[in-house]
Structure formats: C-alpha cells, structure tokens
Amino acid sequence: MTNAATARQAKPDRPAVRLHVVTGKGGTGKTTVAGALALALAAGGRRPGERRILLVEVEGRQGLAQLFDTEPVPYEERRVAVTSDGGEVWALAIDAEQALLEYLDMFYKLGPAARALRRFGAIDFATTIAPGIRDVLLTGKTCEAVRRRSAPGAGHGPDRAFDYDAVVMDAPPTGRITRFLNVNSEVSGLARVGPIRNQADAVMRVLTSAQTAVHFVTLLEEMPVQETLDGFAELRAAGLPTGGVVVNQARPVVLPEDRLKKAAQPGGLDPAELEAGLAPVGLADPETVGALTALAAEHAQRVLLEAGQREELAATEAPMYELPLLGEGVDRVGLNLLAKELHRQGAA
C-alpha cells in the first residue's frame, strides 16, 4: 500500500470543487470511479437528503444505468442511489440534440418551432453538427447544473430545479478530454458573437475556475500511465484545472519488500526456505515448492513494475488515490466499498 492509500484524512482534499470531471484511458474504470465518487460525495450530510450529487454522462452509452442497475437514464434527472445516511445520487444522460432543443427554447422561445425542426429532420445531429457545437451543448448543460446554486431558479424547468452540492461527470477518455473541455477554442472559428459564443464563455468560466477539477483514472500499466501523463500536460497547457490520479484495480502486495526483491531475481526465493515453511503443513514436495517459487517471481516482478508506474505518476504532482481490484466485479456492494475508500483517502 502506498502512503496515499494508507493515510486517513479528516477533510476532503477539494471542498471547494463543485464539478468533478472523471477521465482516463478507455476501459480503466471512468464510469465506475465517477459513480463511486458521486456516492462518496453524497455521504456525510447531517440529515437524509441534505446532500445531493448529480452524476452526468455525455457519451450516450447508458453506462450509469448499467452501473446502478436501473432503467436507462433519460434526458431528465433521476435518482439512482441513496447512501446509508440518506445522501442522494441523481443521474442525467446528457444528449446533445435534447440539449440543443432546450437551449433554443431558453434563448429563442422556439419551443414548437424547434420541435418542428426536429420532426422534419432539419437537425440531423449525427452528420451535420460541428463537434465544437456538440461539445458546448454537453458541457453547457453540465455547467448549468453546477451554476444552479449561485442562481436559484434561474432559467430551468420548474420540476427539476434542484440545487446539487456537486456534479460528477463521466467524461470522454483522455485522448479527447482537452478538446472536449476547451470549448472556447472549439467554437472560436464557428461563433465569434451571439448566444453560442456567450454559452462557450459561460462554460469556460466554470471549467477554468477552482470549482472544477479533472481527475484521471489509470491502471498501473504503461499505456494508461503514459496517457495520464500526456493528459495532465495537455490540460495544464490549456489552462484547465487538474485534480487527482485514481489508480484503479490495484492488486494487493503479499510479500514484504526484502522478499519481493529477492523473489524477482533469477533463482527467486530460496527453495530451502520455502520448503522449511511448507513442511509443517505437509506441502513441501518439489512440485509445490517449484510452483510457488514461480508464482512468487511473477508477483514480485509485477509489483516492482507497478512501483515504477507509480513513480512515473508522481511526476504529475497530483494527489493519488488507490482503489482495489474487486474480485467479484463491481456490484452495489463493491461500489460502496470503492466510495468508502475514496472518502477515507480524502478524494471526497
């Protein structure tokens, strides 16, 4: 276990953050970590329902519904989980087309006209919308939820005018994250003035502020670690606020350090020593000793490689959190366990 994983923190590292963006290489656990972080942030209220977190997804894949084992999440905020102390996690699948219609409604009072536009297929999103516009709609909707507290009742529907304590975004992967968040430069060639420009400016005000943190999920493997380092550099160059590194699926270390080094060397652990240890339980036959020596060598080599990856990650100078590999997969019990870990380590 690293220091990050063993230190107990009384206070979260980022109490001022209201938008947690979770990115990382594909398949490393972004959706899982975003869900666990939302649960961790939702806990700790003084009374049930006091803390309310919104979890958003932007890629139209219904990952959140799968994670929380609920019906597909519509373009509408839905409660998907309640913590043991009554904190609430709500989920929203943001869809660019729906966000556009809402946006037209809000700015141009084009309700029926927008619906007609859609009916006639004039807004054929998949093929016609510029990626920059799509992104500003997705981030715009997210930032609207983030800003709600500071502007109560401003410009959103009467039925879902909740204030959230924080918003967690299950974001696009590392390779696309800077472009996705940097909507200003994305729309600069498309809209120099007008409402889209204003929207992009409002989004950038939230995204570049201390209210936002972009966290990276990684495994202790070469590719995701390299992507994490590149992602940090890119975000920093774009003036976007970085958060922590979440090392996911960390495997337990079962040998003490001096043994590890020895086990990793050619020849590995001393067979005589192993034999002496195994004899009392009647397992000291050469086959078992040989198999265990090989296993210990494999374990040791992996642990040492992982230590190297951890060192690489330290170059980000970001806070590090570490989540265990859950042998049974990620069900609700597992997700709660990950949430507790994130809380214990100060991520929430």
Ligand X SMILES: Nc1ncnc2c1ncn2[C@@H]1O[C@H](COP(=O)(O)OP(=O)(O)OP(=O)(O)O)[C@@H](O)[C@H]1O
* Residue 26, CA distances (Å) to 57, 227, 266, 290, 311 in order: 15, 10, 35, 38, 22
* Residue 67, CA distances (Å) to 25, 33, 178 in order: 18, 10, 25
- Classified as helix, coil or strand, 221 is coil
Q: Are strands 19-24 and 212-218 parallel, antiparallel or unpaired?
A: parallel
Handedness of CA 33, 38, 40, 41 (dihedral sign): positive
Q: How far is the CB of 82 from ligand X (least distance, A)?
A: 21
- Does 63 bind Mg ion (CB under 5 A)? Our answer is yes
Q: How far is the CB of 28 from ligand X (least distance, A)?
A: 5
Residues 134-173 that bind ligand X (CB under 6 A): 173
Q: Are strands 78-82 and 88-93 parallel, antiparallel or unpaired?
A: antiparallel
Q: Which two tokens stand for residue 13?
A: 């590292």
String of contacts with Mg ion for each residue 17-36, x by CB under 5 A: -------------xx-----
- Does 249 bind ligand X (CB under 6 A)? Our answer is yes
Q: How far is the CB of 192 from ligand X (least distance, A)?
A: 34
Q: How far is the CB of 43 from Mg ion (least distance, A)?
A: 23
Q: How far is the CB of 201 from Mg ion (least distance, A)?
A: 29
d(CA 340, CA 100): 37
For ligand X, the closer of residues 39 and 104 by Cβ is: 39
Q: Which does 132 bind (CB under 5 to 8 A by kind): Mg ion, ligand X, none?
A: none
String of contacts with ligand X for each residue 319-338, x by CB under 6 A: ----x-xx--xx--------
For ligand X, the closer of residues 30 and 343 by Cβ is: 30
Segment (H or E) for 251: none
Q: Which does 27 bind (CB under 5 to 8 A by kind): Mg ion, ligand X, none?
A: ligand X
Interacting residue ranges for Mg ion, rule: CB under 5 A: 30-31, 63
